[in-house]
Chain A
Amino acid sequence: RKEVEQDPGPFNVPEGATVAFNCTYSNSASQSFFWYRQDCRKEPKLLMSVYSSGNEDGRFTAQLNRASQYISLLIRDSKLSDSATYLCVVTTRTGNQFYFGTGTSLTVIP
């Protein structure tokens, strides 16, 4: 079983739409959670960390559900520039092992 699983999409949404991605993880002892964004042929860049209490950064909201072992990312008022692949990342308790989901592809359409 994979450590982290994501729906690969693709998600094609119109500008202004709200879109949500989910990611499940298998290790209940996982410690830290992140969403990364990767543009085509570029390295991943940290979008936001995910905390148990949930956190928001502008149009982006991340939530963690430890009981069900999933994390989510909500993007409101989608922009064309949001088109990218979104990667869910989970780390072990020691923090030395990072596990990536396969990524969810988002295309925002004019």
Chain B
Amino acid sequence: GAVVSQHPSRVICKSGTSVKIECRSLDFQATTMFWYRQFPKQSLMLMATSNEGSKATYEQGVEKDKFLINHASLTLSTLTVTSAHPEDSSFYICSAGVVRPDPPYEQYFGPGTRLTVT
């Protein structure tokens, strides 16, 4: 099956610093990568969708200057949380989508990164 890795799995940082999270599809090329955020006892909230080589599309209410997404290749996307604040503490999950000629389309999730901002 398709494997998606995320690094780091946990990070603790001080308020005001920036944190970069990597998402890699290990054994397939992902046409699209997604970034989600999940607060405790809530569902995943899509933050942005990124296609390789083009600018990410952000969901309403997500600050693109705060959450920088770089999708440099078909196997790597990065999310940088700039000037992190305690309210940015959350579980960040990436997924890699595979859009085939025929549905169903599928996406595979990374194991997530738990960010704690102190």
Q: How large is the interface on B (under 10, 10 to 19, 20 to 34, 35 or more residues)?
A: 20 to 34
Q: How large is the interface on A (under 10, 10 to 19, 20 to 34, 35 or more residues)?
A: 20 to 34
Asked if B43 and A87 make an inter-chain contact with CB atoms under 8 angstroms apart, the answer reads yes
Per the 8 Å Cβ criterion, residues 81-103 of B in contact with A are 91, 93, 95, 97, 99-100, 103
Asked if A97 and B44 make an inter-chain contact with CB atoms under 8 angstroms apart, the answer reads no
Interface of A is mostly: loop
Question: What residues on B are CB-neighbors of A61 within 8 Å?
Answer: none
Asked if A95 and B91 make an inter-chain contact with CB atoms under 8 angstroms apart, the answer reads no
Given A43-B109, A43-B112, A87-B43, is A97 in contact with B99 using a C-beta cutoff of 8 Å? Answer: no
Asked if B43 and A34 make an inter-chain contact with CB atoms under 8 angstroms apart, the answer reads no
Asked if A98 and B46 make an inter-chain contact with CB atoms under 8 angstroms apart, the answer reads yes
**Cα separation A31 to B105 with both chains bound (whole Å):** 9
Asked if B49 and A97 make an inter-chain contact with CB atoms under 8 angstroms apart, the answer reads yes
Q: Which residue of B lies closest to A93 (CB)?
A: B103
Per the 8 Å Cβ criterion, residues 48-104 of A in contact with B are 49, 51, 87, 91, 94-103
Q: Is B116 an interface residue (CB 8 A)?
A: no
Q: Which residue of B lies closest to A102 (CB)?
A: B43
Given A32-B104, A102-B43, is A94 in contact with B99 using a C-beta cutoff of 8 Å? Answer: yes
Asked if B105 and A102 make an inter-chain contact with CB atoms under 8 angstroms apart, the answer reads no
Specify which of A42, A49, A51, A101 is in contact with B112 (CB 8 Å cutoff). A42
Q: Is B42 an interface residue (CB 8 A)?
A: yes
B76 to chain A, nearest CB (A): 18
Q: Which residue of A lies closest to B100 (CB)?
A: A95
Specify which of A33, A49, A51, A95 is in contact with B99 (CB 8 Å cutoff). A95
Q: Is B111 an interface residue (CB 8 A)?
A: yes
Asked if A42 and B111 make an inter-chain contact with CB atoms under 8 angstroms apart, the answer reads yes
**Cα separation A43 to B95 with both chains bound (whole Å):** 10
Q: Which residue of A lies closest to B4 (CB)?
A: A43
B116 to chain A, nearest CB (A): 13
Residues on B lying within 8 angstroms of A by beta carbon are: 31-32, 34, 42-44, 46, 49, 51, 91, 93, 95, 97, 99-100, 103-112, 114
Residues on A lying within 8 angstroms of B by beta carbon are: 31-34, 41-46, 49, 51, 87, 91, 94-103
List 15 A–B pairs whose Cβ atoms lie within 8 Å, in order of A's numbering: A31-B105, A34-B106, A42-B112, A43-B93, A43-B109, A87-B44, A91-B105, A94-B99, A95-B105, A96-B31, A98-B46, A98-B97, A100-B46, A102-B43, A103-B43
